[in-house]
Amino acid sequence: MNLITTAPRGTKDILPKEAYKFSLVENAIKKIASSFGYREIRTPVFEHTSLFKRSVGEETDVVQKEMYTFKDKGERLLTLRPEGTACIARAILENGLHNSTLPLKLFYLYSCYRYEKPQAGRYREFNQFGIECFGAKSATADAEIICLANEILNKLNINDVVLNINSIGCPNCREKYFKALSDYLNDKKENLCEDCKTRLKTNPMRVLDCKKINCKKIIENAPIMLDFLCEDCSEHFKNVKQILNNLGIKYNIDGKIVRGLDYYTKTVFEFIYNKNQEPLTICGGGRYDGLTQQLGGPDLPSLGFAFGLERLINVLEENDYFKDKSYEDCKIFIAYADQIAKNKVFSLVKELRANGVYAECDLNDKSLKAQLKYANKINAVYSMVLGEEEIKSNIAKLKNMKTKQTIDINIDEYFFNKFLNIINSGEN
Ligand code: AMP
């Protein structure tokens, strides 16, 4: 083959043998989110670039290096969404959803776009399942969303996961912390990478995200936000931990988690999967109390999290989750022995499908032998052949492809009910 092009780097085709796994997981997750009162929301795949600059933060890697930004024909500066929260906050404010009963609980299933170096579990186009809860300020809300993420992992039987939590305070307590952190980092400035030298001036907390070895070493002994929390943030974090304890949800406190996006405040958390490989964040989230105001809306204390679906599915594959959850096999293949039977075959198949049964027939003018070979190939559970005689007598032989046993069945107007009776009774 001489294809003129291939899929862009960092993207992948989700083929049928994988796509059904996405549907399966998405449906399972949706059901859990619904039981916590979350409703689906969908927003455009691109937004004005300013939305992400203002909310995610000018100094974050996402905004600085990873956004797919372009000008449209009307000279508007647009960006493919790199994450979901900012888009949803914009949508609820623009549509006035925050004026309804609060808290407003929303979930989304989105593709997101980040220009990152592609590697295992890291793509340029990836899918997130996220939840956002607007207008909930108490620690119970923090515990509830953590509980929801935890429930998803439990229902999907994922065990090798740890929950790390932290509090990164609010603008009030951050001032003192930024000073301490800047003092500490300034002392070691010479050994920081060029990016971190800039971050030190604009937002020293972003240095804590740096993955470069030298910077990571320096960060190890850096002061942590937990030691600088104001009374309100400290009390809030204490309450979150208390509720998690009451719910029996295990966690570690990791003072180094800051999350890669600027809008977070107070509680932040990550679920890390670490079985046989490098630890992998499969879910991350936290509180973002200032976001709606930052976007020009009212003060709405809010919070949320996102799962990376590709990562989640990789983990599920590793844990054999899909082993006995394959595609549905074709229930029945109906073949024709001659042209007279062709129309009848098609109308029986139509009737079965209208009743939700996965039925197939030939679409390629194949010989009878070739039709039955095909039925074998697609693992049809039953097969049936119609010819002149069957049409005349209204009776055909239904064959169980595994046991090779056959049973007579009427192909009149009650065919579907009879077929159902036979497969349910296990008669054949
Ligand atoms: P974030 O929006 O950065 O908090 O990411 C939330 C979740 O999305 C992460 O925990 C990952 O599971 C997933 N994720 C983030 N970036 C990528 C990527 N480039 N490729 C695949 N999954 C990703």
Q: Is the Cβ atom of 260 under 6 angstroms away from ligand 1?
A: yes
CA–centroid distance, residue 308 to ligand 1 (Å): 5
For ligand 1, atom 15, the nearest C-alpha belongs to: 308
For residue 281, the ligand 1 atom closest to its alpha carbon is: 10
Q: Residues 266, 289: contact at Cβ < 8 Å? A: yes
What is the number of the ligand 1 atom nearest to the C-alpha of 62?
Answer: 3
- In sequence order, what are the residues at sequence separation of 6 or more whose Cβ sits closer than 8 angstroms to the Cβ of residue 354? none
Tell me the pLDDT tens digit for each residue of 387-409.
999 999 999 999 999 999 999 99
Does residue 210's CB lie within 6 angstroms of at least one atom of ligand 1? Answer: no
**Distances from the Cα of 190 to the Cαs of 56, 194, 223, 224, 403, in angstroms?**
28, 9, 18, 21, 76
Residue 67 CA to ligand 1 centre (angstroms): 14
Residue 307 CA to ligand 1 centre (angstroms): 7
What's residue 168's pLDDT?
A: 95
Please tell me if the CB atom of residue 306 comes closer than 6 angstroms to any atom of ligand 1.
yes
Coil, helix or strand for 306? Answer: strand
Question: In angstroms, rounded to a whole number, what is the distance separating the alpha carbons of residues 302 and 292?
Answer: 8
Could you identify the atom of ligand 1 that is nearest to the CA of residue 285? 4
- From ligand 1's centre to the CA of 114, what distance in Å? 9
Comparing CA positions, the residue from 358, 356, 354 lying closest to residue 332 is 358
Q: How many CA atoms lie within 13 A of 228 on its CB side?
A: 19
Pairing of strands 265-273, 77-80: unpaired
CA of 237 to the centre of ligand 1 (A): 25
Q: Low-confidence residues of the chain, pLDDT below 50?
A: none
Residue of minimum CA distance from atom 23 in ligand 1:
308
Q: Kindly report the pTM of this predicted structure.
A: 0.91
Tell me, using a 6 A CB cutoff, whether residue 128 lines ligand 1: yes
Which residue's CA is the nearest one to ligand 1's atom 14?
A: 308
Distance (angstroms) between ligand 1 centre and the Cα of 426 equals 47
pLDDT tens, residue by residue, 111-160: 999 999 999 889 999 999 999 999 999 999 999 999 999 999 999 999 99
Instruction: State which amino acid sits at residue 244.
Output: L
Question: Which value, in Å, is the radius of gyration of the alpha carbons in the chain?
Answer: 28
Helix (H, G, I), strand (E, B) or coil at 375: helix
What residue's CA is closest to ligand 1, atom 2? 83
Tell me whether the omega of the peptide bond preceding residue 103 falls within 30 degrees of 0, making it cis.
yes
**What pLDDT is attached to residue 428?**
62
The atom of ligand 1 lying closest to the CA of 311 is: 12
The pLDDT, as a whole number, for residue 276 is 72
User: Does the beta carbon of 132 sit less than 6 angstroms from any atom of ligand 1?
Assistant: no
| Ligand 1 atom closest to Cα of residue 259 | 4
Is 125 touching ligand 1 by the criterion CB < 6 Å?
no
Residue nearest to atom 13 of ligand 1 (CA): 308
Query: How many angstroms is it from 281 CA to the middle of ligand 1?
Result: 8
User: Is the beta carbon of 66 within 6 A of some atom in ligand 1?
Assistant: no
Cβ(83) to ligand 1 under 6 A?
yes
